[in-house]
Structure 1
Amino acid sequence: MNEEQLSVEKLLTEPDYDSEGFVDYIYDGHTYKLWYGRIGSSNAIPALVLHGGPGGNHHNLVAFQALADERPVIFYDQLGCGKSDRPDNSSLWTAERYFDEVKAIRDGLNLKKYHLIGHSWGTTLAVGFAAKNPAGILSISLHSPILSFPYYINHIAPILKQGLSGLNGKAGQVIDDYELRGVGTKNDYDEACLELMKGHVTNTWPLPEAMKKLIAARNPAIHDMMIASDSELNVLGNLKTVNVTSQLSTLNIPVLMTCGSDDVCTPAYTKWQSGFANNAQYYIIQGSAHMTPVDKPLELLGLQRAFLKEVENVSNE
């Protein structure tokens, strides 16, 4: 194993946190515990990392621990996810309620100035939160962003379905038949979803430990409520009407957008979304699918590190 492979393997291993614990989140008269882990103890401006899903957890984003040589990096598991409390209350699984909870992390960890980093659904969360709570946020990094679910459903998912070649070119139709019309076999559906996953979700097989931990610790009840399909090419849950592109337009802070060349959040979709930002940088990471922090962590981290340095250099002028 060469030096680069060794460094990638280490990047995708759960960090030894300098501190971890829980912050209280009070909502609708109830107090919940949200888990966080902080790596890095310097006084530099920290980065808060928001994971995807919905119903996922921080495990597939642990590559961002590499930034801790320059600043504290804070991971947290959203309510119902990972190590945080998992209440059995489906009314909690809405975008607006999640936008609200990030304040508890910000305030509980006393973040006065910080950078936001989101991946996938975490980009929706980052923009939705920041639009209502912009104070102290120096930049937002949106990796494999999905900011308009209606646009994704109507303009991106159909292209992805058409591009699936399996099952004699009918894999996309198999997914629609199974998810929208309740017909077809589970075996064919699973085969079509696996083709999608290997082609557009992660190019890294066999799955690394970070992805295995993500899968093991996810909360399917949240995903079912908010997405309501395994393929995610048909968004049938309560995210189907969520669109935060107008909120992004209100933010006058630097924005970094990246995606993989084979991403379900395609380069064309990501470029379209970047047009709503007032100050955006946009990059495609070649040879990666949706899970850029797993497929191409070194390339992603290089872009992330340079962006944060540039933002702070400008703000100090």
Structure 2
Amino acid sequence: MREGYLPVPGGNVWYRIVGGGAEGVPLLVLHGGPGASSDYLEPLEALADERPIIFYDQLGGGNSDRPNDPSLWTVNRSVAEIVAVREALDLDEVHILGQSWGTALAVEYYTLASGQNGVKSLVLSAPCLNAARWAADQQEHVADLPGSARAAISESETSGTFSSPEYQEAMMLFYNRHVCRMEPWPDCLNRTFEKLGYPVYEQMWGPSEFTVTGTLREYNCTPQLGGIGVPVLFTCGEFDEASPETTAFYASLVPGAEVRVFEDASHEHHLEKSEEYLKTVREFLRRAER
């Protein structure tokens, strides 16, 4: 294992490579957020017996620099960050796995002419590729919450104030249903929330997963999906924020894409159904290299 810092546009990001001596094509991991860290994706380390697994914390969160510059929090800069990481680590060939917001980055990066060079496959887990569709799915989930929780959410969204105990309680009820259904949450997921770069998350997304007010609120990269020319695996949980119906829709736009839905799991299905998830990804990566 090796770790350190790499220069990217806007500052330095922390990275970690597990299984550096393995012979398979490396897997570059793009975490969710925005503003989160890679901690919660630790189960992917189990794949390092076959290939190097490269994690990094995107600028503004985790162990990376946190510059106080709102102009940095854009899709284009985030994609330029991937370019810089890949170049610095000499990743001539690579598989890319994105989770949540990381799926949008994976698609955006692949869309670049340079991004297609040496990219063997994409794994898009719990995909967030269309903000309007995401928000609509979350409103359906919110509609299933108890009346008191719905009222607290509605009141906060009307007033624009999200610090009330009632809103925070409703948010955690939602998260325990649709973000991670494990009780208690794994330590790696707790670390990610502890390291969240909230200014980045709030500016780009909003105060919570289901209240989308940030600069990404009109984001949509689904028109780019038809141009993907490598194997693609979509995964989601039965109760995922990225609903099975929406995930299947995205997959329908990618020629030959595969889909796997994990029962009784949600957004963090890689944690909730870790053994099944790792087996699915491992076998997919093997097939993509044939």
Which TM-score band (shorter chain)? over 0.9
Alignment match, 1:175: 153
Q: How many residues align?
A: 287
Q: State the 1:182 CA deviation.
A: 3.6
Letter of the structure 2 residue corresponding to residue 150 of structure 1: A
Of 36, 45, 49 in structure 1, the residue corresponding to residue 15 of structure 2 is 36
- 1:173–1:124 Cα change, 3 Å: farther
Counterpart CA distance in 2 for 1:115 and 1:301 is: 15
1:244 aligns with 2:244: no
Counterpart CA distance in 2 for 1:184 and 1:307 is: 41
Letter of the structure 2 residue corresponding to residue 68 of structure 1: A
Contact 2:126-2:267 at 8 Å conserved across structures: yes
Q: Match of 1:66, SS?
A: helix
Of 96, 110, 113 in structure 2, the residue corresponding to residue 116 of structure 1 is 96
Letter of the structure 2 residue corresponding to residue 34 of structure 1: V
Q: Match of 1:141, SS?
A: strand
Counterpart CA distance in 1 for 2:161 and 2:251 is: 38
- 1:178–1:293 Cα change, 3 Å: same
Alignment match, 1:203: 181
Q: Match of 1:85, SS?
A: coil
Counterpart CA distance in 1 for 2:165 and 2:100 is: 27
Q: State the 1:129 CA deviation.
A: 1.1
Q: How does 1:136-175 map to 2 (within 5 A)?
A: 136-153=118-135, 155-164=136-145, 166=146, 169-175=147-153
Counterpart CA distance in 1 for 2:249 and 2:128 is: 11
Q: State the 1:58 CA deviation.
A: 0.3
Contact 1:179-1:229 at 8 Å conserved across structures: no
Instruction: Provide runs of 4+ in structure 1 moved above 3 Å.
Output: 180-185
Q: State the 1:34 CA deviation.
A: 1.5
- 1:236–1:66 Cα change, 3 Å: same
Of 265, 272, 279 in structure 2, the residue corresponding to residue 302 of structure 1 is 279
Counterpart CA distance in 1 for 2:110 and 2:163 is: 43
Contact 1:174-1:184 at 8 Å conserved across structures: no
Counterpart CA distance in 2 for 1:236 and 1:86 is: 22
1:87 aligns with 2:70: no
Q: State the 1:270 CA deviation.
A: 0.8
Q: State the 1:225 CA deviation.
A: 0.4
Of 18, 28, 48 in structure 2, the residue corresponding to residue 48 of structure 1 is 28
Task: Normalising by structure 2, report the TM-score.
Answer: 0.95
Letter of the structure 1 residue corresponding to residue 83 of structure 2: K
Q: Match of 2:116, SS?
A: coil
- 1:187–1:249 Cα change, 3 Å: same
Contact 1:252-1:279 at 8 Å conserved across structures: no
Q: State the 1:183 CA deviation.
A: 7.0
Alignment match, 2:42: 62
- 1:234–1:42 Cα change, 3 Å: same
How large is the RMSD of aligned CA atoms in angstroms? 1.5
**Identity value in percent:** 34
Gaps of 5+ in 2: none
Letter of the structure 1 residue corresponding to residue 178 of structure 2: H
Contact 1:112-1:136 at 8 Å conserved across structures: yes
Task: Normalising by structure 1, report the TM-score.
Answer: 0.87
Bigger Cα displacement from structure 2, 281-290 vs 174-183: 174-183
Q: State the 1:128 CA deviation.
A: 0.8
After superposition, the C-alpha distances for 1:246-267 in whole angstroms (9 at most, x for unaligned) are: 1222111111001011111111
- 1:180–1:103 Cα change, 3 Å: farther
After superposition, the C-alpha distances for 1:137-172 in whole angstroms (9 at most, x for unaligned) are: 11000000010112222x3122112121x2xx3423
Contact 2:127-2:247 at 8 Å conserved across structures: yes
Gaps of 5+ in 1: 1-17
Letter of the structure 2 residue corresponding to residue 259 of structure 1: C
